Amino acid sequence: MNQAEIHQSPRVASVKSLLGVWIALIVGTGLTVGVTSFDLGAFNIWIGLGIATGQAILVALFYMHLRWDKPFNAYIFVFSFAFLGLFIGLALMDTSQNQADMIPDFGAAESVAPEMP
Amino acid sequence: MAEMHSTDHNPDLAPHFETIDQQRQSSRLGMWLFLVAEILFFGGLFCVYVIYRVNQPEVFTFGHQFLDKNLGTLNTLVLICSSLTMAWAVRAAQLRQRMILTLMLVLSFLLAGTFLGVQYVEYSHQRQNALLVASQLAPDADIPAEVQPEEAISASVEGAPDEAPLEAPMVEAVDPGVSMIAPAAAGPAGLATAADRLAAQAERDLVNVDPAGAKTFFSIYFLMAGLHGFQVLLGMIAMLWLLKLTFQGAFDGGHSIKVGNTALYWHVAVVIWIYMFLLMYLID
């Protein structure tokens, strides 16, 4: 292994950053458990998801080396979440807007219609 | 190959790559694409979770009471520690620190094993409480409420064979003062004392008064947690493989891409668990 190859080798994470992220992850878990033990109504889940996403970003940036990687890898990762959001969002839209009777009385009127005259 | 790459005799360089750096970038890109597939795969399961939860929120707030929040927190911390050791293993491989690399891989393996051990404890709790997938929930559903606990136990013993083929073989209940082993929910009364049976029956009654769809929660829980556990198992196998390579000196040249890619896979498993812990254990 010559000197040139060592220069080519990827960025080495410092022990300080490894331990720093580790502490942040532990604190984040403690915060999540703490926050969700209070009843904040609908906010609970959003605060929890926010902290979890913060933890995920820390892991991705430092432990998964995205901060030093080629940006293309990060684009792939971020876009996968964008498409996941689209997928879950559209599925939820159907769940929230679907009704047993989408166009009121449409089917009923048709079945009644032939007997009208 | 040597004549094709006369300038480079690096044994780590595959013949179809120009440089080590190009090889590393390609390998990493491939790993990231795999991880995206993994995220979308779990995304489908999270979508199932979200839709069922929106439709029947009470089922989830009821069902999650049967998960042990303390064990869940413990498992989250265990996985976070394993994430640290895997990230550190990558650093050690890059710096050619064979001893530290070995130590970190062993620690990661042990932490992953701890995670699965705690999961096993949880699953056996839920198994005892008949909180398995939908088809096995509420095995005593057609026992009239006024039946005494002792009779209910014997009734469930009679009903056991056709609903739980995987349960332990039938055992005649012997002297009720012999053993402290609690009965399995859908199985025979076993050797439990009368007091144990009463306690177990009380737990089952609690389950039986649940909203009709509580089984939905545990079907989704076991689907997601089970697949995640399988992912952890695969990660452990990969760690063993890395340990073998380490002992063979494969990383002494600083060519750490295999450690790096396994670590990427592991970190995704940890992040998925962080979300699952929030969505399964910490809902009110």
Model confidence pLDDT, tens digit, residues B12-41 = 888 899 988 899 999 999 999 999 999 999
How does residue B201 score in pLDDT terms, banded at 50, 70 and 90?
A: low
**Tens-digit pLDDT profile for residues B141-158:** 444 444 444 444 444 444
For the segment A90-103, the average pLDDT, to the nearest whole number, is 83
A107 lies in the same domain as A75? yes
Task: Tell me the pTM.
Answer: 0.75
- Do B206 and B224 touch, CB atoms closer than 8 A? no
Comparing A85-89, A106-110, B107-111, B203-207, which segment has the lowest mean pLDDT?
Answer: B203-207
Q: Which residue has the higher pLDDT, B233 or A69?
A: B233
| Mean pLDDT value of segment A37-51 | 86
CB B59 within 8 A of CB B214: yes
How high is the pLDDT of residue A3?
46
Q: Do A8 and A28 fall within a single domain?
A: yes
| pLDDT confidence band for B197 (50 / 70 / 90) | low
User: Using the beta-carbon criterion (under 8 Å), do A32 and B282 form an inter-chain contact?
Assistant: yes
Radius of gyration of chain B (CA): 25
User: Do A57 and B16 form a contact (C-beta atoms < 8 A)?
Assistant: no
Average pLDDT value for chain B? 77
Looking at the structure of chain A, the number of domains it has is: 2
Q: Do residues A25 and A59 share a domain?
A: yes
- A48 and A16 co-located in one domain: yes
pLDDT greater than 80 at residue B123: yes
Measured at the CA of B223, the angle between CA A84 and CA B199, to 5 degrees, comes to 140
| H-assigned helices in B19-97 | 20-55, 57-63, 69-94
Domains in chain B, CATH or no CATH each: 20-133+213-281 (1.20.120.80), 139-208 (no CATH)
More confident residue, B99 or B166: B99
Same domain, A39 and A79: no
Q: How far lies A110's CA from each of A25, A100, B45, in Å?
A: 61, 17, 40
Same domain, A7 and A44: yes
CA distance, residue A103 to nearest chain B CA (Å): 22
Q: Which of A29, A87, A62 is nearest to B276 (CA)?
A: A29
The residue-averaged pLDDT of A9-33 equals 92
The C-alpha R_g of chain A, in whole angstroms, comes to 26
Of B238 and A8, more confident: B238
For range B121-128, the mean pLDDT: 80
Is A29 within 8 Å of chain B by CB?
yes
Domain hosting residue A109, numbered range: 70-117
Residues A51 and A75 both lie in one domain? no
- Using an 8 Å Cβ cutoff, are B21 and A8 in contact? yes
- Together in a domain, A45 and A82: no
3-state SS class at B114: helix
Tell me the residues of chain A between 31 and 90 that have a Cβ less than 8 Å away from chain B: 32-33, 36, 39, 44-45, 48-49, 52, 55-56, 59-60, 62-65, 69-70, 72-73, 76-77, 80-81, 83-84, 87-88
**B236/chain A closest Cα distance in angstroms:** 18
**Is the pLDDT confidence value at B281 over 80?**
yes
User: Cβ–Cβ of A26/B80 closer than 8 Å?
Assistant: yes
Residue A47 and residue A99 in one domain: no
- N-to-C CA span, chain B: 63
Same domain assignment for residues A64 and A21: yes
Query: Do A58 and A86 reside in the same domain of the chain?
Result: no
Q: Which of A73-77, B124-128, B148-152 has the lowest mean pLDDT?
A: B148-152
Q: Which value does ipTM take for this structure?
A: 0.82
Q: Enumerate the residues of chain B whose CB falls inside 8 A of the CB of residue A58.
A: none
Q: Are residues A109 and A88 in the same domain?
A: yes
What pLDDT is attached to residue A28?
A: 96
